[in-house]
Amino acid sequence: AQLDTLDLIVLVALLVGSVAYFTKGTYWAIPKDPYANSPATLNGAAKSGKTRNIIEKMDETGKNCVIFYGSQTGTAEDYASRLAKEGSQRFGLKTMVADIEDYDYENLDQFPEDKVAFFVLATYGEGEPTDNAVEFYQFFTGDDVAFESGATAEDSPLSSLKYVAFGLGNNTYEHYNAMVRRIDAAFTEMGAQRIGTAGEGDDGAGTMEEDFLAWKEPMWTALSDAMGLQERETSYEPVFSVTENEDKSPEDESVYLGEPTSAHRAGQPKGPYSAHNPYIAPIVESRELFTVKDRNCLHMEISIAGSNLSYQTGDHIAIWPTNAGAEVDRFLQVFGLEEKRHTVIDIKGIDVTAKVPIPTPTTYDAAIRYYMEVCAPVSRQFVSTLAPFAPDEDSKAEIVRLGNDKDYFHEKIANQCFNIAQALQAISSKPFSAVPFSLLIEGLNKLQPRYYSISSSSAVQKDKISITAVVESVRLPGASHFVKGVTTNYLLALKQKQNGDPSPDPHGMTYAIKGPRNKYDGIHVPVHVRHSNFKLPSDPSKPIIMVGPGTGVAPFRGFIQERASLAAKGEKVGTTVLFFGCRKRDEDFLYQDEFKTYQEQMGDSLKIITAFSREGPNKVYVQHRLKEHAQLVSDLLKEKANFYVCGDAANMAREVNIVLGSIIAEQRGMPSEKGEEMVKHMRSSGSYQEDVW
Ligand code: FAD
């Protein structure tokens, strides 16, 4: 019964989470205007009176292929768009992309036999569906599936449905690609005909893109056989018409210069603020946390006073970044757009179901600076689409070779960590002026907000959100350039500006600090808050164990801040243990001084156990310390402590999970499988919580 209640809580939390759902715009979906910030548009089709009947929609628009996506961070959505485009151009399919939450699935048993439905489904967290696929998933994996027609799971209701499936997962999580596996199993059981294999991409192994490329070719062959499709010579067909509008100047009020919504453009942003409508928040304080010169970790205080935004300790804040000026310039130069950077452009979808992911009208400069992910690693498929537009035969041949030869691509492009403009610079010194701008909009993601674990307590500072962000800046061995994270370097520039730093631009990144129409002047940044399930126990006398090396300490600073303030008020606070790790005590021990103050307030109930990886002869990590303190950990778990892990998902979190299982097994004299099972049980009952990335 306890599990049922918890399941229910998780379910409700997931549904609440779906309100905060954010993903990049799709090109072919039901048009919904993400730039208008009326809440009525947030749920797309449902609220705007558009049909939720996919069969009807396909009939009306003359489509024979729908590509549904369940996406959290935009990758599944991007793959859906790419499949739609390829299906249309190579095989003449009439494709459309659809957000899976915009349609009903109770009539999928009526899906016409001569059409096909694709399902591109990401698995999120612990084998969960993405926010937009929760209802779909529950419908098909629930106990009593019943379709509108009255058909049930036993009737082979999906026998007319041809489907294609691809999953996006991460093998470092236990329930690898659970979403696509379970949906595929449910569909098969209900008689649907899968075309090709159910593909699985693995983000954990870093092979997502190659897995996708390797899966799709045999799938297209199988689909061609099943539907009698003929592959044709492809020629590029733009999804958008991009026209230069000489009548408008960038100063015109109607032109988006980087503003996220029409209300922001008009200078009157208003709440409710959400993933579709960020709040332009003042950064009221910013400082450096590391004491070394070559690495940076930022502490920032972001004010949400007067915004009606609220947060709870353990939530996330999303920061909407701006691309570095140096990269905007490079991109403009590579595509021969420098002279026209401030020309106003109108972007329209050519197909009725195509949705423009960039607010329009805008300028080339604004589109690249504020709306397009131009710095991300570039995909092999995207590079190869540029071949027909290469400036000469040599560069065309080189692009074709890169497109066809995976290893060559890795050596020349991927291993150098080039973004698209850097890759093309390496291929030719001539500008790629013939590339249609539509192709760039189609091939690059919409610039995504980045999430940060809030490092303050809402009970202590309800109107101010702290973040703790390590600046991503890496020089690869042998490479000439630094690989720089988009958001963290933008935040570094804001911090340096705020503190009047004499060298505000260490690598000549030149950010537009003041934002569109100077609206971010005075150090502002667009943000929204995302609620999470990563929460302190409601009873503060319960003990807690936290494992948070590096910036994984972020939410735990909030947790400790909260418990210290309760202790200072005389409340009974349970044992609070933090396992923290970094390189060296005097270099990157985050919040060292602050923790001393909390220690005074909390006395013995706060225990900070440190692991410094570069101080002694051997590397010591938090997992080692956890093992050394096995007895303490085990005793606290017996007292019903909550156990929290935050930070690196790939290695640390996985190892901590294993170590905890072995601690439980050893301390209680159980076989190791039993220890693992106990950890699983702790996870499902909510006493083992992760906030990892
Ligand atoms: P990005 O531009 O997104 O780059 C990401 C990585 O890719 C970098 O390592 C970069 O070096 C590499 N990269 C960039 N361009 C290329 C290229 N062309 N080729 C190859 N590699 C490239 N981070 C924190 O510091 N503190 C937190 O508290 C925190 N909390 C988080 C909570 C959640 C729920 C999540 C999902 C993430 C959290 N993160 C946190 C991570 C954070 O969201 C960002 O991912 C991180 O700050 C990097 O963002 P960025 O825009 O600077 O880098």
Residue nearest to ligand 1 atom 3, measured at CA: 485
Q: pLDDT tens, 604-649?
A: 999 999 999 999 899 999 999 999 999 999 999 999 999 999 999 8
Q: How many angstroms is it from 485 CA to the middle of ligand 1?
A: 6
Name every residue whose Cβ is closer than 8 Å to that of residue 323 and which is 6 or more positions away in sequence.
368, 369, 370, 372, 374, 375, 447, 486
First to last CA, the chain: 32
User: Could you tell me if the CB of 482 is within 6 A of ligand 1?
Assistant: no
Q: How many angstroms is it from 288 CA to the middle of ligand 1?
A: 18
Look at residue 484 and tell me whether its pLDDT is greater than 60: yes
Among 289, 372, 450, 532, the mutation site with the greatest number of ligand 1 atoms within 8 A of its Cβ is 450
User: Could you tell me if the CB of 375 is within 6 A of ligand 1?
Assistant: yes
691 annotated active-site: yes
How many residues can be counted in the chain? 693
Look at residue 33 and tell me whether its pLDDT is greater than 70: no
Collect contacts of 535-542 with beta carbons under 8 A, ≥24 apart.
535/312, 535/313, 535/314, 535/689, 536/313, 536/314, 536/562, 536/563, 536/642, 537/642, 540/566, 540/571, 540/572, 540/573, 540/574, 541/572, 541/573, 541/574, 542/574, 542/639, 542/640, 542/641, 542/642
Q: Facing residues of 167 across strands? A: 121, 200
478 or 150, which is more confident: 150
User: Could you tell me if the CB of 472 is within 6 A of ligand 1?
Assistant: yes
Nearest CA to 119 among 190, 208, 187, 46? 187
User: Could you tell me if the CB of 530 is within 6 A of ligand 1?
Assistant: no
Look at residue 48 and tell me whether its pLDDT is greater than 70: no
Task: List C-alpha distances in Å: 338 to 215, 246, 341, 559.
Answer: 39, 16, 5, 49
pLDDT at residue number 507: 74
Ligand 1 atom with the shortest distance to the CA of 450: 43
H or E element that contains 396: helix 393-404
What's the CA gap between 179 and 168, in Å, rounded? 9
What is the average pLDDT across 387-416?
96
Residue nearest to ligand 1 atom 26, measured at CA: 469
User: Could you tell me if the CB of 485 is within 6 A of ligand 1?
Assistant: yes
Residue nearest to ligand 1 atom 27, measured at CA: 452
Name every residue whose Cβ is closer than 8 Å to that of residue 372 and which is 6 or more positions away in sequence.
323, 358, 440, 441, 444, 445, 446, 447
Look at residue 503 and tell me whether its pLDDT is greater than 60: yes
Among 173, 313, 488, the mutation site with the greatest number of ligand 1 atoms within 8 A of its Cβ is 488
What is the per-residue DSSP string for 520-536? TTTTEEEEEEE--S---
Ligand 1 atom with the shortest distance to the CA of 691: 34
14 or 527, which is more confident: 527
Nearest CA to 525 among 374, 255, 301? 301
Q: pLDDT tens, 80-91?
A: 999 999 999 899
What's the CA gap between 158 and 325, in Å, rounded? 52
What is the average pLDDT across 5-11?
46
pLDDT at residue number 491: 97
What's the CA gap between 199 and 218, in Å, rounded? 11
Percent with pLDDT over 90 in the chain: 83
pLDDT class for 74, splitting at 50, 70, 90? Answer: confident
Query: Which range among 45-59, 92-106, 584-598 shows the weakest confidence by mean pLDDT?
Result: 45-59
Ligand 1 atom with the shortest distance to the CA of 417: 19
Tokens of 610: 């440190």
Residue nearest to ligand 1 atom 48, measured at CA: 485
Place of tokens 């690898």: 176
pLDDT class for 493, splitting at 50, 70, 90? Answer: very high
Look at residue 223 and tell me whether its pLDDT is greater than 90: yes
pLDDT at residue number 599: 96
215 annotated active-site: no
Among 379, 470, 476, 693, the mutation site with the greatest number of ligand 1 atoms within 8 A of its Cβ is 693
Query: Which range among 49-53, 337-341, 358-362, 436-440 shows the weakest confidence by mean pLDDT?
Result: 49-53
Look at residue 34 and tell me whether its pLDDT is greater than 90: no
Q: How many angstroms is it from 472 CA to the middle of ligand 1?
A: 7
| Whole-structure pTM value | 0.86
What is the average pLDDT across 215-220?
97
What's the CA gap between 116 and 493, in Å, rounded? 49
User: Could you tell me if the CB of 487 is within 6 A of ligand 1?
Assistant: yes
Among the listed residues 88, 274, 453, 687, the single catalytic one is 453
Ligand 1 atom with the shortest distance to the CA of 469: 25
Q: pLDDT tens, 257-308?
A: 999 999 999 999 999 999 999 999 999 999 999 999 889 999 999 999 999 9
Among the listed residues 155, 159, 428, 693, the single catalytic one is 693
Tokens of 629: 């303190």
pLDDT at residue number 336: 98
User: Could you tell me if the CB of 693 is within 6 A of ligand 1?
Assistant: yes
Q: How many angstroms is it from 533 CA to the middle of ligand 1?
A: 21
Phi/psi at 71 (nearest 5 deg)?
Answer: -130, 145
User: Could you tell me if the CB of 470 is within 6 A of ligand 1?
Assistant: yes
Q: How many angstroms is it from 682 CA to the middle of ligand 1?
A: 29
Ligand 1 atom with the shortest distance to the CA of 554: 28
Ligand 1 atom with the shortest distance to the CA of 470: 25
Nearest CA to 651 among 682, 614, 623? 623
User: Could you tell me if the CB of 177 is within 6 A of ligand 1?
Assistant: no
Grouping H, G, I as helix, E, B as strand and the rest as coil, residue 606 is strand
Contact 230, 92 (CB under 8 A): yes
What's the CA gap between 66 and 68, in Å, rounded? 6
Tokens of 23: 């993903």
pLDDT at residue number 429: 97
pLDDT class for 520, splitting at 50, 70, 90? Answer: very high
What's the CA gap between 182 and 136, in Å, rounded? 12
Q: Burial, 28: exposed, middle or buried (Cβ in 10 Å; 0-12, 13-18, 19+)?
A: buried
Residue nearest to ligand 1 atom 15, measured at CA: 376
303 annotated active-site: no
pLDDT at residue number 506: 65
Tokens of 163: 């489907």
Residue nearest to ligand 1 atom 25, measured at CA: 469
Place of tokens 């009737």: 155
User: Could you tell me if the CB of 486 is within 6 A of ligand 1?
Assistant: yes
Average pLDDT of every residue of the chain: 91
What's the CA gap between 609 and 517, in Å, rounded? 48
pLDDT class for 15, splitting at 50, 70, 90? Answer: very low
Look at residue 29 and tell me whether its pLDDT is greater than 60: no
Name every residue whose Cβ is closer than 8 Å to that of residue 637 and which is 6 or more positions away in sequence.
545, 643, 664
User: Could you tell me if the CB of 417 is within 6 A of ligand 1?
Assistant: yes
pLDDT class for 42, splitting at 50, 70, 90? Answer: very low
Place of tokens 């972007």: 347
User: Could you tell me if the CB of 469 is within 6 A of ligand 1?
Assistant: yes
Name every residue whose Cβ is closer than 8 Å to that of residue 583 and which is 6 or more positions away in sequence.
612, 613, 614
Residue nearest to ligand 1 atom 21, measured at CA: 417
Q: How many angstroms is it from 417 CA to the middle of ligand 1?
A: 14
pLDDT at residue number 173: 80
660 or 22, which is more confident: 660
Using left for φ > 0, alpha for ψ between -120 and 50, and beta otherwise, residue 452 falls in beta
Q: How many angstroms is it from 474 CA to the middle of ligand 1?
A: 12
Helical pair 2-19 and 134-141, crossing angle rounded to 10 deg = 140
Residue nearest to ligand 1 atom 50, measured at CA: 485
Look at residue 32 and tell me whether its pLDDT is greater than 50: no
Q: pLDDT tens, 89-123?
A: 899 999 999 999 999 999 999 999 999 999 999 99
Task: List C-alpha distances in Å: 208 to 171, 200, 545.
Answer: 11, 8, 34
Among 313, 445, 483, the mutation site with the greatest number of ligand 1 atoms within 8 A of its Cβ is 483
User: Could you tell me if the CB of 537 is within 6 A of ligand 1?
Assistant: no
Q: How many angstroms is it from 484 CA to the middle of ligand 1?
A: 9
Look at residue 2 and tell me whether its pLDDT is greater than 70: no
Among the listed residues 274, 466, 646, 648, the single catalytic one is 646
Among 451, 482, 692, the mutation site with the greatest number of ligand 1 atoms within 8 A of its Cβ is 451
693 annotated active-site: yes
Look at residue 143 and tell me whether its pLDDT is greater than 90: no
Place of tokens 């890496």: 474
Q: Burial, 67: exposed, middle or buried (Cβ in 10 Å; 0-12, 13-18, 19+)?
A: buried
What is the per-residue DSSP string for 537-587? -SSTTS-EEEE--GGGGHHHHHHHHHHHHHHHTT-----EEEEEEES-HHH
